[in-house]
Structure 1
Amino acid sequence: MGLDKLWDLLPRLCLILLLPLVYFEYQMGKSPCHIERVYNPTYRKEGDLVIGGFFSLFVKIEDKINKEAFKHRPALTSVASQSMLTYYQPLFAFLYAVDEINKTPHLLPNITLGYQVVSDFHKNSLAVESTLIWMAGGGPIIPNYSCSRLSNSVAAIGGISASLSMSMATILKLYKLPQIIYGPFDLLLTDEFQYPYIYQMGSRESVLHLAFIQLMLHFEWTWVGLILSDTVRGESFFNDLKAEMVRNDLCVAFKELIPEDYNPFDDNGIFYRSTVSSSKVIFIYGSEDNLQVFSTILTYFVLYEKMLITTSSWNFFGDGNLNLFSNLHGTILFSPPKKDIPGLIDFVKDLNRSVISENFYLKVFLEVFFSCRLSEKKHAEFFFPFCRDDLSLTDIPDLKFALVVSDLSFNVYNAVYFLAYTLQQMLQSEIKEVYEPGRNPDLSYKLHHFLKCINPVHNANDESCGHGAGIAAETYDILNFKSFPDETAILVKVGEVISHGQGFSINEEDINWPRDFSQTPTSTCNLNCGPGFKKTVYENQPICCFDCNPCPEGHISNQTDAEQCLQCPEDQYPNKEKDRCLDKTVTFLSYEDPLGMTLAWAALCFSLLTALVLGVFVKYRNTPIVKANNRSLSYILLISLILCFLCSLLFIGRPNSATCLLRQTAFAVVFTVAIASILAKTITVVLAFRATQPGSRLQRWLGSTTSFSLIFICSLIQICLCGIWLGTHPPFLEMDIHSEPGSIIIQCNEGSLLAFYCVLGYIALLALGSFTLAFLARNLPDTFNEAKFLTFSMLVFCSVWISFLPTYQSTKGKAMVAMEVFSILTSSAGILICIFTPKCYVILLRADRNTLEQLKKKANS
């Protein structure tokens, strides 16, 4: 900054800082009221009743100044005109309200309101001093002594903050003087024991936390940070907000408290922790004093990728700080609806030069706002030129004035009218005394009764008050702060909130988000769990921070952030994404199925082939090769094989109770007949060669009766086993809904697995016996010996069924049925091919070998 500019800005600073110079000039023998006092300026306008107006118009610099700071020329800072308007407008509203009441004939008729304006310098200690000055009537501070001719001070309107209000109350309550506070509502001041004469005009903000919640729910911000004033007001707001957030499953990412003595340049931990937090949205709430200190940080540093939500209590747009404007672009504010004060601007502009010169504070405002001076001041010529003769407050731009209209101004205006209506009701009541100025020392005390009756904030508890004023529904405007490159800024209304859930509306299209966000910001601890997943919250972790786990088998979730997955009905199954249930398809090994069709065709073809072989053997029944291999047993074996192939058809098609009872038992019986026939053929071969010697006792076992008896006994045992199975735990029809996710398998349950494996084990036992005997007889003369073919057939049979058992156990549904059908067909085909293919080859293709001469010749060789 250049030296010329510094010297241009120096007058404004000097005028503001040099006002509260103090000196006493005590003269012996004179009245205390003649003591000159210029250290704390005040302005008093007399009236029948005088109201005290306390405003924070100046800031007093500490008396102790570090001399080291002035080794070089100090850098000067001017007072922005917009900031002047912000802090002076409550004073204008106060003056206008008093003037308007005095001009209203039906309000306090025949009584004139006066006022005394005092500055508390926004310091607690000076607020006490200003209170004593007002009670002394504007003269020197002499306790219990008033320099005013009449004791007509009735009430004080002041206290821009709770701390200032409490400092004033320490003096005012000693004299039972009413104190009407126009600053923000504070719970500390509701203690009627400590502050019995305080009345607050500010909104309670009892549902402000609900407005925050509605905004969070609308934008789905579940993970937010909080920056609060370290006061009772801030703590109360946090408790209400936290309880409502828990009720709506919202979480606090971090909580930072700004102490009253916070120095942003000594400790920037609050700013650092706010920056590194994963939360994208930060709610800022507290008193203006604390937040003004916090705004100092934001003047120099930027909270990147953070969306700020605050209230109009943080009046950062009233300071005219252009750098702060740019850093806070896109901020959303909750503000009570702006209510215009009709005629206020015209009143300010109509203040004439003489009125301004008489009122010390208006005079200072004009001089600082326009950088000129109205009167001669020693050494002031160097800093200020004289103001133009035609200069007045009319030259204030309307737009700038409208920008700084605040809740405080409206509260001051209402406070004056509230007091005026209360005074009128008191003076017109039945308990009034004839009012004479200066002769009603208990006037202020009597005023309390009526102030409580019509208090716009508290409910009336006194029955004599009649109907007390209730708490009106709170309404908040949602404002969006927008800054522009041309160093201008505006607040745009983008929505509103009505308390108790009566209404919430917001127009997102009108919102300008912070420049770091190209669209509506999101603020969550982690990404949402989509359909098909469920939230899993772990112990000692906020409910908003969770893991997304897929729904278990058979369950779905069809919404975002589902806490539990829903189980599909038994006749439905989840789709691949697990976000909806689909109807299951009924499955079984059907004839329409390619696999079922293939197996059915194979069964028919093999049964037909077996029938052809049987036909060949019947046709050539008298040939030596047929007769030599026991044609009766061959007929029984071929017929049983035909039945084996055909019984596999019982496994194909939609199962029912009958097929479930028949198919395993029919398979077991016909296979037993087939294996028993092979066993009989094997025994016959062995006995034929053992009974060749004349007179051998084994010859009597070579007849067909023995073979038939063996087949009958083996089959009877299997029939008994099947009978026991059916009589105890028979197979039954069931619907399997669990084996395949998308299918309902209609299948036959075997009933008793023990009985099922006993039946299979009996067949395996017969097969193993046949294989053993055939293997031992494999080296007998080849002409009459089919033991080799029997050995191969049993080897195939055993291999198939040994492989079947583990495969059968590991498959489900129609695959399991197909496996069993395949095993039946394969084992039956193995017996057919291994035993009858060589014989059919000789019978059909080598008839020359199928003669008795050839057999004898081969035997002799």
Structure 2
Amino acid sequence: MLPGSHTKFISACSRLTENYQHVLVLAFAVKEINQNSLILSNITMGFNIYDSCLNAWWANRATMELISSQDKIVPNYKCSIQDNLLAVIEDLTSYFSDEIQNVFGIYKIPQLMYATSSIEIKDSNPLSIRQMVPNGAYQYRGIIQLLQHFKWSWIGFFAANGEIMEWFMKKMLPQFSKSGICFAVMESFTSISYDADKGGFMKTSAEFYEKVMNNKANVLVFYGETRTMVPLRWLFHYEFRQTMQKPKGKVWLLAAGMELKNIANRKSWDTQDFHGAISFTVHSNEIPGFQQFLQNRTPSSSKEDGFIKDFWTQAFGCTFQDSVQDNVGGNICTGKEKLEYLPEYVFPKSVTGQSYSIYNAVYALAYALHAMYSSRPKSKAKMRIEKREHHDHLVWQLHSFLKSVSFNNSAGEKVHFDDNGELIAGFDIINWVTFPNESFIGVKVGKMDPWVPSDEAFSINEDTIVWHHWFNQVQPISVCNPSCQPGYRKKKVEGKPSCCYDCIPCPKGWISAKEDLSDCFRCPDDQYSNMGQNSCIPKTITFLSYEEPLGISFAICSLSFSLIVAMMLRLFMKHHDTPIVKANNRDLTYTLLILLLLCFLCALLFIGQPEKTACLFRQTAFSIIFTMAVSTVLAKTITVVLAFMATQPGSRIKKWMGRKLTGSIVFSCSVIQAGICLLWLATSPPFPEIDMHSVTEEIVLQCNESSSVMFFCVLGYMGFLAIASFTVAFLARKLPDTFNEAKCITFSMLVFCSVWMTFVPSYLSSKGKSMAAVEIFSILASSAGLLCFLFFPKCYIILLRPEVNKKEFFLKKKH
């Protein structure tokens, strides 16, 4: 940019169809500024244009011309008129940017970059550089977010050269790996080598093409610059395409600066492979008044434009009459052709990201220059006070003003820099749609702005994206292997990248509710996993209640047996004077019937929702009642033995027989059990418990015995009494007596011991309400055994054989 000079166009090559919009935006911005007296009063801004043609020699020559006189390329030597150079607005190309930056850095000439660099700037003097585009590293963040959005974890990466690849491996590869993205192939274009003797160029090119198209990744990331599109598009020349029977479709992710352009006008190069490609471009917006400026642009009205005739010739495919000479054939340019009629791929109607950056760069310089000139009177006054000479080193002074420049452009967007001299802006995401006639258009489908909150930094409208024909307009999938479905987890495969894994089912009781989870998770305690192990189901609260069939059945059995016992007791009391009731201690018979009634009713304590009081007393009540019943049976057995021994001549045992002996037996045995129960209640009493783990699908409300030792002590003592009764009865089973109960007691105690011996393993192997059910069944079964074998034979005689239940029958039998 040249303050106080005229505009000059220098055409180095003919890449006008792709860059002519840059020229027009530059001219439009300078025209607006020169017409606005509020920005630069009494100063006219001009510019010179140099086209490097993507060639380092041209770029270096332009650099020398800018710091030399107009006639000769002699830096630092003013031998003629020299342009008043203000700043350089340049394309940032890593191939030859170092040399240009070093030269301009020496002279402290501000440099404003309008294209995104593929790598970090290597500049020892960052003060001289201002980037009118975001840092290129932010693109990688956007690419990572884009890959994560579409769940693409298996990709190919191709770099323009080894320098970019080295920088990527060092700085960005860890970020991709951290985000769960792996690479099927990583390659740079420098791997394509030329060997004249062996024809190695075509061979290595074909090998590179195979790596690009035949790898298993459906997504390919290409990172480079504008000139990278030349070898990239050359790879898709028909010679290589013929090597593949069915060319595969790929999703191309292109870095900013790698837009689809007709490089070198090679329209015969196929673009269909790029159909559906996605690229990041520098953010742009429409510039008010620019479209009207374009419509008024014609060769006749823009004679100062040294590019317009060359552009007109290339864009409209015609020739101006003054240049035809003897060849009168072909189309003649009338100069009335309209730019808006040109295809989008020849001349974009909307402002591109690079053109928008140039527009902002010109205004940034103008506002910085305005601020600098506004500060000069204060600076001169200070110099006069200090009696120092004032030197107008405009270029040197401009850096500080550029650093702090901040303004709203005509599109209403704020333009300012961060501390590193980089523009605070974002990227647009473009979807490229190609057509059979080799034309193409770019459709904006999203954005990436690293300066806004993280939840708003990335957005994309996937419904508007056009995918390659290969995918039948279905979102492509690019993974190393199919995703692990819910209910499975990933297992790393040794020797393969982290994106390649096996899927194994979650362990029982664990779930994975999403795809591709590395770990399974336990359900909360009040939930359990479903059959597919992909969701948790709330557990049902359960206990042995009176409302379920099992609880109702137990309750009916308990009450029925209790009624039978009550009826038996009434029957025995009605026939209390009969020999069969008097035999073997009538009081013990009544006591045992009452205790059996309580045993059957005791089963009801184990049905219903466990509460604190019920848990405290149901085990103790059961154990004491059953101990009294068993001790009563033991007393009856001892009575049988003593009665036989008392009939022996000279026996003194008869005086020991009576209520005192049987009462003392029942009392002493019961007191010991009661003492054990009191100790249990005093040390570790039972309590209600919510068991969430024993049964998978249920939350069990139950009573916790608290001390398994005390519980089995109670059962053990009761079992000891039962075995003692069984042993004594078994030994006395053959004693002669008309109503010898020893046999009945033997069978009853055999059933009783069998029931409670099988109870222990059954109880220990049960879970949830089944534990209560097992104990209730044991109570009812053992009580029923005592009832049946001890009292049913007597009831049979009382009710059906009354003739046997008479004293005369016994006397007659004895004689």
1:308 has 2:240 as partner: no
1:513 has 2:513 as partner: no
| 1: CA distance, partners of 2:780 / 2:45 | 120
Could you tell me whether the CA contact under 8 Å between 2:620 and 2:677 is conserved in 1?
yes
Q: Tell me: CA distance 1:287–1:859, structure 2 relative to 1, closer, same or farther (3 Å).
A: farther
| 1: CA distance, partners of 2:468 / 2:298 | 37
SS state of the match for residue 493, structure 1? strand
Partner of residue 191 from structure 1, selected from 110, 120, 123? 123
Deviation at 1:137, TM superposition (A): 8.0
Paired residues for 1:331-342 under 5 Å = 331-335=277-281, 336-337=283-284, 341=290
Match of residue 625 from structure 2: 670
Q: Which has the larger radius of gyration?
A: 1
Partner of residue 448 from structure 1, selected from 391, 395, 401? 395
1:817 has 2:772 as partner: yes
Could you tell me whether the CA contact under 8 Å between 1:52 and 1:118 is conserved in 2?
no
Deviation at 1:332, TM superposition (A): 2.1
Q: Tell me: CA distance 1:849–1:351, structure 2 relative to 1, closer, same or farther (3 Å).
A: same
Match of residue 350 from structure 1: 299
Paired residues for 1:261-410 under 5 Å = 262=192, 265=202, 266=204, 280-299=218-237, 300=240, 304=248, 306-319=250-263, 321=267, 324-335=270-281, 336-337=283-284, 341=290, 345=294, 349-351=298-300, 366=313, 370=317, 385-386=327-328, 391-392=333-334, 394-395=336-337, 398-400=340-342, 403=345, 404-405=347-348
Q: Tell me: CA distance 1:779–1:110, structure 2 relative to 1, closer, same or farther (3 Å).
A: closer
Could you tell me whether the CA contact under 8 Å between 2:158 and 2:222 is conserved in 1?
yes
Amino acid at match of 2:465: I
Q: For residues 199-227 of structure 1, what are the alpha-carbon distances to aligned partners after superposition, in whole Å with 9 as ceiling and x for unaligned? A: 77666557444544554565565665543
Q: For residues 59-90 of structure 1, what are the alpha-carbon distances to aligned partners after superposition, in whole Å with 9 as ceiling and x for unaligned? A: xxxxxxxxxxxxxxxxxxxxxxxx76226665
Could you tell me whether the CA contact under 8 Å between 2:118 and 2:136 is conserved in 1?
no
| 1: CA distance, partners of 2:44 / 2:96 | 31
Deviation at 1:706, TM superposition (A): 3.3
Deviation at 1:796, TM superposition (A): 0.5
Q: Tell me: CA distance 1:614–1:317, structure 2 relative to 1, closer, same or farther (3 Å).
A: same
Could you tell me whether the CA contact under 8 Å between 1:422 and 1:447 is conserved in 2?
no
1:124 has 2:61 as partner: no
| 1: CA distance, partners of 2:629 / 2:640 | 17
Partner of residue 158 from structure 2, selected from 227, 238, 243? 227
| 1: CA distance, partners of 2:696 / 2:166 | 55
Paired residues for 1:202-241 under 5 Å = 204-205=135-136, 207-212=138-143, 215-216=146-147, 219=150, 225-230=156-161
Q: Tell me: CA distance 1:537–1:670, structure 2 relative to 1, closer, same or farther (3 Å).
A: same
Q: For residues 184-213 of structure 1, what are the alpha-carbon distances to aligned partners after superposition, in whole Å with 9 as ceiling and x for unaligned? A: 5577766255x9977776665574445445
Q: Tell me: CA distance 1:120–1:220, structure 2 relative to 1, closer, same or farther (3 Å).
A: closer
1:161 has 2:66 as partner: no
1:837 has 2:797 as partner: no
Q: For residues 426-449 of structure 1, what are the alpha-carbon distances to aligned partners after superposition, in whole Å with 9 as ceiling and x for unaligned? A: 9999799xxxxxxxxxxx995633
Deviation at 1:481, TM superposition (A): 1.2
Q: For residues 345-392 of structure 1, what are the alpha-carbon distances to aligned partners after superposition, in whole Å with 9 as ceiling and x for unaligned? A: 567632599999xx7995698489748797999xx99xxx44569535
| 1: CA distance, partners of 2:643 / 2:366 | 139
Match of residue 443 from structure 2: 492
| 2: CA distance, partners of 1:333 / 1:123 | 24
Partner of residue 188 from structure 2, selected from 243, 258, 269? 258
Deviates more, 1:297-306 or 1:541-550: 541-550
Q: Tell me: CA distance 1:91–1:773, structure 2 relative to 1, closer, same or farther (3 Å).
A: closer
| 2: CA distance, partners of 1:425 / 1:761 | 102
Q: For residues 96-143 of structure 1, what are the alpha-carbon distances to aligned partners after superposition, in whole Å with 9 as ceiling and x for unaligned? A: 98999999999898989796x776554334554676788898989899
Could you tell me whether the CA contact under 8 Å between 2:371 and 2:401 is conserved in 1?
no
Amino acid at match of 1:484: F
Deviates more, 1:129-138 or 1:779-788: 129-138
| 2: CA distance, partners of 1:424 / 1:814 | 88
Amino acid at match of 2:597: I
| 1: CA distance, partners of 2:429 / 2:17 | 23
Could you tell me whether the CA contact under 8 Å between 1:55 and 1:158 is conserved in 2?
no
Match of residue 501 from structure 1: 452
Match of residue 3 from structure 1: none
Match of residue 18 from structure 2: 86
Report the TM-score when normalising by structure 2: 0.74
Deviation at 1:833, TM superposition (A): 0.8
Q: Tell me: CA distance 1:165–1:349, structure 2 relative to 1, closer, same or farther (3 Å).
A: farther
Deviation at 1:670, TM superposition (A): 2.7
| 1: CA distance, partners of 2:271 / 2:463 | 21
Amino acid at match of 1:491: G
Amino acid at match of 1:478: I
Amino acid at match of 1:57: C
| 1: CA distance, partners of 2:747 / 2:664 | 25
Q: Tell me: CA distance 1:342–1:414, structure 2 relative to 1, closer, same or farther (3 Å).
A: farther
Paired residues for 1:580-599 under 5 Å = 582=538, 585=541, 587-599=542-554
Partner of residue 714 from structure 1, selected from 669, 683, 689? 669
Deviates more, 1:88-97 or 1:588-597: 88-97
Could you tell me whether the CA contact under 8 Å between 1:308 and 1:331 is conserved in 2?
yes
Deviation at 1:804, TM superposition (A): 0.8
Amino acid at match of 1:317: K
Match of residue 597 from structure 2: 642
Report the TM-score when normalising by structure 1: 0.71
Deviation at 1:799, TM superposition (A): 0.5
Deviation at 1:789, TM superposition (A): 1.6
Partner of residue 573 from structure 1, selected from 527, 530, 550? 527
Deviates more, 1:298-307 or 1:836-845: 298-307
Deviation at 1:798, TM superposition (A): 0.6
Q: Tell me: CA distance 1:203–1:628, structure 2 relative to 1, closer, same or farther (3 Å).
A: closer
Q: For residues 826-854 of structure 1, what are the alpha-carbon distances to aligned partners after superposition, in whole Å with 9 as ceiling and x for unaligned? A: 11111111122222222221233334554
Could you tell me whether the CA contact under 8 Å between 1:372 and 1:386 is conserved in 2?
no
| 2: CA distance, partners of 1:445 / 1:321 | 52
Structure 1 residue runs of 5 or longer lacking an equivalent are: 1-46, 59-82, 433-443, 462-467
| 1: CA distance, partners of 2:624 / 2:375 | 117
Could you tell me whether the CA contact under 8 Å between 1:334 and 1:477 is conserved in 2?
yes
Partner of residue 608 from structure 1, selected from 563, 567, 571? 563
Deviation at 1:625, TM superposition (A): 3.4
Q: Tell me: CA distance 1:776–1:338, structure 2 relative to 1, closer, same or farther (3 Å).
A: same
Deviation at 1:681, TM superposition (A): 2.7
| 2: CA distance, partners of 1:197 / 1:840 | 119
1:474 has 2:425 as partner: yes
Match of residue 384 from structure 2: none
Deviation at 1:605, TM superposition (A): 1.7
Match of residue 651 from structure 1: 606
Amino acid at match of 2:750: L
Q: Identity over the aligned pairs, expressed in percent?
A: 35
Partner of residue 13 from structure 2, selected from 57, 75, 88? 57
Paired residues for 1:847-858 under 5 Å = 847-852=802-807, 854-855=809-810
SS state of the match for residue 848, structure 1? coil
Match of residue 805 from structure 1: 760
Could you tell me whether the CA contact under 8 Å between 1:223 and 1:281 is conserved in 2?
yes
| 1: CA distance, partners of 2:27 / 2:613 | 105
